[in-house]
């Protein structure tokens, strides 16, 4: 019988969808205040492959991904997503927005996969607790990234995948530095 072992620490990442640069900077400041320093940040990618968020957020959206320097336990994903939901609501109240001024999606990266948190159920998502699910975004292989049938369209783009391959290299380097 296999014996349970402690999970390996994972690399905390976060994607932020936004319209206004100043709002992104404020959200970034708060994320760093809660989760610590960012060790890598993507350029602003156009969020233009779906109009899913346009009714709430309007057109001309952008997404930036951040990787945080510290490692976390994968079991923390529920708490991270609930905290970002609270942050989204606080920003909405503070800005007086009728819709959703920002979308904040935490996740984590392992040596083999990128996992995002979501509150939306679907057949391929794993319930974690408190209404939060794990969404397996894509897999890392020896030759790059393997997308899945349900991989979000913007995660299929080369620049996005290149960002996460580089974050994975940071993560693997950090794992090698941990005491045995």
- Average pLDDT on 54-64 reads 97
For residue range 82-114, list pLDDT tens digits in order. Answer: 999 999 999 999 999 999 999 999 999 999 999
pLDDT value for 20: 96
Helix axes 77-95, 21-35, angle to 10 degrees: 140
Q: How far out from the chain centre does Cα 179 lie?
A: 27
109, 13 contact by CB (below 8 A) = yes
CA atoms in the 13 A half-sphere facing the CB of 26 = 16
Whether 144 shows a pLDDT value over 80: the answer reads yes
- CB crowding 86-119: b at 16 or more within 10 Å, else e: ebbeebbeeeeeeebbbbbbbbbbbeebbbbbbe
Q: Please, which pLDDT band fits residue 48 given cuts at 50, 70 and 90?
A: very high
Q: Which residues contact 100 (CB under 8 A, 6 or more apart)?
A: 53, 56, 57, 88, 92
Q: Please, which pLDDT band fits residue 169 given cuts at 50, 70 and 90?
A: very high
Please, is 37 exposed, middle or buried when counting C-beta atoms within 10 Å of its C-beta (0-12, 13-18, 19+)? exposed
- Average pLDDT on 4-10 reads 96
Q: Please, which pLDDT band fits residue 58 given cuts at 50, 70 and 90?
A: very high
| Pick from 28, 170, 46, 24: nearest CA to 109 | 170
pTM: 0.96
38, 32 contact by CB (below 8 A) = yes
| Pick from 14, 38, 29: nearest CA to 91 | 29
pLDDT value for 180: 76
% residues pLDDT > 70 (the chain) = 100
% residues pLDDT > 90 (the chain) = 99
pLDDT value for 110: 99
Q: Please, which pLDDT band fits residue 22 given cuts at 50, 70 and 90?
A: very high
pLDDT value for 40: 99
Q: Return phi, psi of residue 94, to 5°.
A: -65, -35
CA angle (150 as vertex; 42, 63 as ends), nearest 5 = 25
Q: Return phi, psi of residue 79, to 5°.
A: -60, -40
Whole-number Å distance between alpha carbons of 15 and 109:
12
Q: Output the average pLDDT for the chain.
A: 97
């Amino acid at each position: 019988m296999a014996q349970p072992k402690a999970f390996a620490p994972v690399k905390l990442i976060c994607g932020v969808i936004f319209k206004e640069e100043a709002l992104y900077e404020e959200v970034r400041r708060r994320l760093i205040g809660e989760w610590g320093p960012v060790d890598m940040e993507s350029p602003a990618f156009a969020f233009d492959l779906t109009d899913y968020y346009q009714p709430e957020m309007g057109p001309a959206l952008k997404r930036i991904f951040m990787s945080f320097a510290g490692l976390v336990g994968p079991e923390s994903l529920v708490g991270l997503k609930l905290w970002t939901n609270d942050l989204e609501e606080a920003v909405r109240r503070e800005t007086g927005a009728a819709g959703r001024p920002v979308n904040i999606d935490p996740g984590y990266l392992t040596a083999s996969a990128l996992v995002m948190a979501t509150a939306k159920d679907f057949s391929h998502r794993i319930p974690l607790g408190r209404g939060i699910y794990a969404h397996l975004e894509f897999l890392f292989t020896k030759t790059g990234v393997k997308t899945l049938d349900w991989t979000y369209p913007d995660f299929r783009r080369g620049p996005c995948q290149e960002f996460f391959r580089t974050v994975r290299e940071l993560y693997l380097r950090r794992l090698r530095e941990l005491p045995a």
